[in-house]
Chains A and B, each alone.
Chain A
Amino acid sequence: MNVLEFTLVVVSVSALAGFLGALTGLGGGVVITPVLTLVLGVDIRYAIGATLVSVIATSSGAAAAYVKEGFSNIRIGMFLEVATTIGALCGAFLATRIPSSALAVIFGVVLLYSAIVSSRPRRERLENVPSDPLAERLRLKGTFPTSGGLRNYRVTGVKAGFSLMFMAGTLSGLLGIGSGALKVIAMDQVMRIPFKVSTATSNFMIGVTAAASAGVYLSRGYIDPGLAMPVMLGVLGGSLLGARHLMGARTRVLRLVFGAVVGLLALEMIYSGIAGKI
């Protein structure tokens, strides 16, 4: 395959992944790395570097839309970004130390986990949360728009949520993914932040988290312009298109199918890692 053919293949695959990732809420980045490594034989370090860059692009693009809708909470996001960025730096340094077969196995496990988590139905729990004294001090509360007007919410479990965010950041830096699934769990399940606010704030945080590890990847030579170019443009284009079709799209079946594909890719990653093929 020459450079032109390879670029066209990668742009198409990335656009499809970005499109489906946006429709299903799973994110496009997670499937690019397995496809690049398993199908196209790209070294996992180049694949991770290129994917990370596309994560920044889609997150920033989506966050721009989310902030205007008033769902994301800038204070919660900024406070938790202390944990995710430090975690991302640790993860990125770790990534340069551990063998690529181990990276593949960890990637597969995380991928499998996020496929399972995001295929579960999501419901909005509207309940009154006992506020945590730390949350009061940090002014972690807010309002979000609902059909019945603005609703107030408070935050709890700040320390546990912060620790989980550090882990999410580490995985993001280690694997070059947004780790949105873990971020949403930390906010939605542990800190009891309303689901829509959690999702929007997570999206808002992903770009900053990824930027922290991108610097390390760049200086270690993981980001190849020839590979990052088609991945970034493809994912960005696909996800913008996907976000536009989000309204009114019947995503339930699509989510199951995409979830199954992601699950299979995850198993293949784990197998290839253990078999030493990556």
Chain B
Amino acid sequence: MTPSKQRWDDTRVENIIGNLLRLGVSMAAFLVVTGGVLYLWRHGGARVSFQVFHGEPAEYRSVSGVLHGLHSLRGRSLIQAGLLVLIATPMARVAFSVWAFAREGDRVYVVITLIVLGVLLYSLV
């Protein structure tokens, strides 16, 4: 591969990554705003209780819990879904990089990127 071709490829990969990140953050923000409005609409008058740590209930603690809560259109489940999209955004970037390095035939970096992806996925389960 000629250097100029590689540079072009890198630039294109960087552009796609840039757009991917922007899309992820926008989607997350949209979900969080929507969920926030619903939450404030229903619970705006309640008392705050962040002073004492008691841990979140199961429905806000796991991917399956959040997805389950979405069925009942709870504001807080929507917020949590937005936060999951946000957490997934860098993961999607890493997953995309695996593909991009593979296309360049860069085996060392495919392995490095797969390690990072593995750590990220491990954190969610």
Contact = CB atoms under 8 A, between A and B. Distances in A.
A64 B22 contact: yes
A133 interface: no
A82 B115 contact: yes
A192 interface: no
A224 B77 CA distance: 10
Contact of B123 (A1, A214, A236): A214
Contact of B47 (A3, A59, A64, A223): A3
Given A2-B46, A56-B86, A60-B89, A208 B94 contact: yes
Interface residues of B, number: 65
Given A3-B48, A74-B14, A223 B56 contact: yes
Given A82-B112, A89-B123, A226-B76, A233 B29 contact: yes
Contacts of B11: 70
B18 A65 contact: yes
A131 B60 CA distance: 48
A60 B29 CA distance: 12
A6 B113 CA distance: 41
A8 to B, nearest CB: 9
A233 B84 CA distance: 15
A67 interface: yes
Nearest to B11: A70
B40 A7 contact: yes
A232 B32 contact: yes
B39 A226 contact: yes
A45 to B, nearest CB: 5
A81 B97 CA distance: 13
A221 interface: yes
Contacts of A253: none
B105 interface: no
Nearest to B10: A74
A36 to B, nearest CB: 8
Contacts of A42: 50-51
B25 A233 contact: no
B83 A208 contact: no
Contacts of B46: 2-3
Interface string A217-253: 0111111111111101100100000000000000000
A139 B106 CA distance: 10
Given A60-B21, A60-B89, 13 more contacts: A1-B48, A4-B45, A56-B87, A60-B22, A74-B14, A81-B116, A92-B123, A211-B123, A212-B123, A213-B123, A215-B122, A220-B55, A236-B29
27 contacts: A2-B47, A7-B40, A43-B50, A56-B87, A57-B25, A60-B89, A67-B15, A67-B17, A78-B116, A81-B116, A82-B115, A208-B93, A208-B116, A211-B88, A212-B119, A215-B87, A218-B124, A222-B55, A222-B56, A224-B56, A224-B60, A225-B77, A226-B43, A226-B48, A229-B39, A229-B79, A236-B29
Interface of A: 1-4, 6-7, 36, 40-43, 45-46, 53, 56-57, 59-61, 63-65, 67-68, 70, 72, 74-75, 78-79, 81-82, 85-86, 88-89, 92, 100, 137-139, 207-208, 210-216, 218-230, 232-233, 236
Closest 10 CB pairs between A and B? A215-B123, A221-B55, A4-B44, A221-B56, A225-B79, A43-B53, A225-B76, A215-B124, A207-B90, A64-B21
